Every structure is written in structure tokens, then in C-alpha cells.
Amino acid sequence: MAAVAVGLGSLVTGVPGVPGAPGGRAHAAERDAGGAPPLPDGPPPAPGVDLDRVTIPELQARMADGSLTSSALTAAYLRRIATVDPRINAVLRTDPTAMRQAAASDARHRRGSARGPLDGIPVLLKDNIDTRGMPTTAGSLALAGSPPRTDAALVTRLRDAGAVILGKTNLSEWANFRAAKPTSGWSAVGGQTRNPYVLDRNPCGSSSGSAAALAASLAQVAIGTETDGSVVCPAGMNGVVGHKPSLGLVSQAGVVPISAEQDTAGPMARNVTDAALTLAVLRGDGAPRPAALPEGLTQQPGGLRGKRIGLWRLPSLGPEVDALMTRTAEKLRAAGAVVVEVTPPYQERLAQLEYPALLSEFHRDIDAYLATREGPRDLAGLIAFNRAHAAERTCFAGQELFEQALAAPPVTDPGYRAVRAELKDLSRRSVDETMAAHRLDAIAAPANPPAWTTDCARGDNDVIPSSTPAAVAGYPSLSVPAGFVGELPVGLLLMAGDRQDDDLLSLGAMVETRLKAWRAPRYLPTAEPPGASR
């Protein structure tokens, strides 16, 4: 469920005074936050490569002309993880075979037989995605024993495309589907992931480690998963791009589940181009398509002219976020877009029905998944495990959702079936009717509030309704950086109709180019006094 700097370009180029360069402001913030030594100067992967900002096509062009190797790129990210990740605690483990994978990619590039845009590109995986030879825990000690015997289907697709599996990222334990009041970014296996922009703030859940790792430039792309908000909220709160694909576009085989009716894995990146290229590899819909950019993705801001966007303001997220949405709408209108204000219907009813349906589905789906792994064999076994292991309760003790799921009606129950049918109908109508009434290309809304302070005793402060219509409907959504409230990023969530992923990514690329809202984190130990939003 929904619910994290030192810029790597500084490491590569060594420019003094740039936030994140040795001696710069971010370095001082790091000392304040924990006394770590400054980042070492390491050999750059290639002259002039700024890994904060470089795109996959630019990296592939360098690999093609021989001025960059996957081995150098992978080594740079591994150094980055070793030196920066102690600040944010986003990466659980690195793959000991990563350099061998990179060397194999280099050999393919030398032979002229590269497998496509992801060949040699380092990728981090959320630790609820089965990866052979590496632990896959969903953040729980219950799964911390033997690794899965096989890769998840999406990992097979990444390997077949030549991607370098760099490691696994921390997550909110059980994808934030255990306690009634959890703390996003915490797991018994990995501890607490921190938001790279302000370290005492939360990264949002549950793909918290994937988003925080990208914000800190610890990989080129990462894979997250979402049931409702767990890709788009961490992306927004950590200032990166996150795409929740249409339901069924990416295989969920081998991914620790919450609900087959809503779960999907999706790409996360620092730019829409990289997210789109990664989706082209992940998608398993059988469509004969190369791993290439959707048509129109590279259009310039002028491509927004005539696009119709419905702005769902959500003032409940606070006046500073609302003011940012006003400025965002002005920028889009200046680029020629038509922005109209909308309020998608049926939201109260969706909120009432979603959790009861998910409880029944989780019981069914987690039992099926646990049957493939060593450890507890079913949900009742998980509940007993948590009661017996104090480490599972070091941040929050509750497992109310587990207990409610155990008692929930089975998915064969007519009452459950009626709830899921109503959810599907109302969520799709919520999006479809709004888009039709205003002839929209997409609905836009804030993806997140400014990150709240992480507090195990209080839990999350994450009532964020913008992700729900697309998540429940199985429609695509995309978060792109919109701007900042003080030092804290806020994303713009875009959603559209079923299987309109390519159109949504193309629109997102235009919006991203117009807003130009990304900036590297500075690893501040705490938030500065409130000031003007940027």
C-alpha cells in the first residue's frame, strides 16, 4: 500500500561547492547527521558522465562508442551504495554477481550484440520480488531464510534484456499491509529507510527503498510495486519518477502479493525516459514491441499545446501543496495545455470498500505465495511468527490487518464478490466519466504531501487519496516531480484510462520537461524553518 545529497554528478565530476561535492553543503549535513567521512573521490565511469542526470539512451550511446563500459558504470554505483547508503538505509544487499553481469554486457557490446536499451544498466529490485540466489524477504524475518528457487517473471525479463541486477531495496514490511498504523520505510529485516532530502522525514511506502535509492543516485532505475500508492507516493516524496502500469501489463508471478486484483510492479527512475524504457522490458502483455520509447515521448514542451488536463486539487493535503498545484497549472497553461479543475466522483465509497476487499484477497494470495517458500506456510503461521519474534515489533507491534484478513470472508463469499464488483465499477467510472465529461488526456493531482516526520510511536500520516481511483480500477498512473515545499519534494500524479500507459508516459515526459522540478537531495538532518515554497 502507499503508503525517502550528495549528487552523484559531484562524485563523477568533482566540482567543488556543488551540493554533495566534498566540502559542499551536503557534506556538512552528512557530518551533522551521523559523522560519516566525506565521499571518496573515485574514478569516474566516464569523463563528463553526470549520473544524477544522465539517461539510459545517453549511457547506451557511450557504451556503443566505447567511452563507457557497464563494468565502470556498475562499479560507480556500487561505490555510491557503499558510501552514501549508510545515510539513508535504502539498499538491503548488493548482488555479488553484479560485476560479472556487467562484464558479460561489455562483451556483448564489444561484439555488437547488445540486447537493447537496458543491456548493462544497473537496476535495483524491491525486496518483495523473487530473485534466485538472493534473499527475498518482504522485509520480514519470516522469509529471511532460504532464497527463492527461481526468479520472478519480471526479473527474467530484465536478465534477458541484459540489465545488471545490482541488489535489493528495503521496503515497508509486507508492503505496509500488516499493521493498522505502520511506519512507512521500516522493516524488521532492513530497519528504517530515510528520506534523502531531509533525513528525519519519511520516504512513504511501501517502495520506499527503491525511491530513496534513486533520489540518492544509487542505481539508474529501480523496480517498485503498488497495490494503492506504493509506487507513486514514494516517487513523489523522494522527488523521482514512478509509473504504476495498467493491471496485468507486468506479470506478478514471483512477487509477494497483497491482492491480484490491484497489485502491479512498475518502473521507478529519475526521468520519464528511463521509466518508459524499463516498462518496455517489464511488460508482458504479449504485444510484439521492441524495448523502445513510446511514440511522442521525446516531444518538446510545445507538445503540450492543446492537451487537456483535469486538475484534482485535493486541498486536504495542505495550503502549501495547493499553492504548488496552482503554480504547476500556470506552467502547463503557459505551455499551451488546457487545465480544468475536476473532482472525480465516488471517492468516499471507494475508501469504504477497498480495505474489506483487500483483506479477503490478501488471505487467499499470501497463502498461495507462502506455499512456494520455506518458512511459515500460511497467514496463520505468519501471525504466530510475529508473536514469537520480538524483532518484528521493534518499531510497531501491531498486525491488525493480518488478523482481520485471517477472519475475513473468503473470496468465494457473495458479499466479498459484491464489494469487489462495486469497487471495480465505481473506480473505473470515477476516471472514465471525469475524462469523458471534460474531454481530458489525463487527470492530475498531487501525489503526496510534504514528507512527515518518521515516528514509530505515531505511525504514518498518509491519508493520500489521489492514488486510489487508478489503483482500484487497474488503470495506469505516473508521478513526476512537481516542485518543493521548503526542502521536501512533491510529485504531480497523472492518471488515464486502461492500457493508456504509452500515452500517459508521453504526456508525463512533456510535463517533466516543462516543470523541470528535479534537484538533487542535500541530506539535511532535519527540516529548515518553513519558508517560501519552491
Is 230 one of the catalytic residues?
yes
Which cell numbers in the block locate residue 23?
A: 566540502
Annotated catalytic residue: which of 71, 105, 140, 206? 206
Q: Which three cell numbers stand for residue 465?
A: 487519496
Note whether 10 and 19 are within 8 A (CB): yes
Does 360 qualify as catalytic in the annotation? Answer: no
- Quick check: 354 and 468 in contact, CB under 8 A? yes
3-class SS of residue 123: strand
Written as nine digits, the cell of 315 is 486541498
**What are 115's strand-pairing partners?**
none
**Could you identify the residue written with the cell 514514494?**
234
Is the backbone peptide bond immediately before 206 cis, with ω within 30 degrees of 0? yes
Q: Which of 105, 207, 230, 246 is catalytic?
A: 230
> Would you state the torsion angle of the CA atoms of residues 501, 503, 504, 507, taken in this order, to the nearest 10 degrees?
160
| Helices 70-88 and 208-215: angle between axes, nearest 10 degrees | 110
Active site residue 181: no
Q: Where are the alpha helices (DSSP H) in 287-413?
A: 319-334, 347-370, 379-388, 400-407
CA-to-CA distance for 353 and 396, rounded, in angstroms? 26
Active-site entry in 10, 70, 105, 126: 126
Task: Report angle CA 534, 230, 130 to the nearest 5 degrees.
Answer: 135
- For residues 84 and 462, give the distance between their C-alpha atoms in angstroms, rounded to a whole number: 27
Distance from the Cα of residue 9 to its chain's centroid: 22
Q: In Å, what is the CA distance from 195 to each residue of 204, 225, 400?
A: 9, 18, 27
Helix 272-282, helix 153-160: angle, nearest 10: 110
Q: C-alpha grid cell for residue 384?
A: 504466530
Burial of 252 (0-12, 13-18, 19+ CB in 10 A): buried
What letter represents residue 159's amino acid?
R
Provide the CA 14 distance to its chain's centre, in angstroms.
29
Task: List, by residue number, the catalytic residues.
Answer: 126, 206, 230
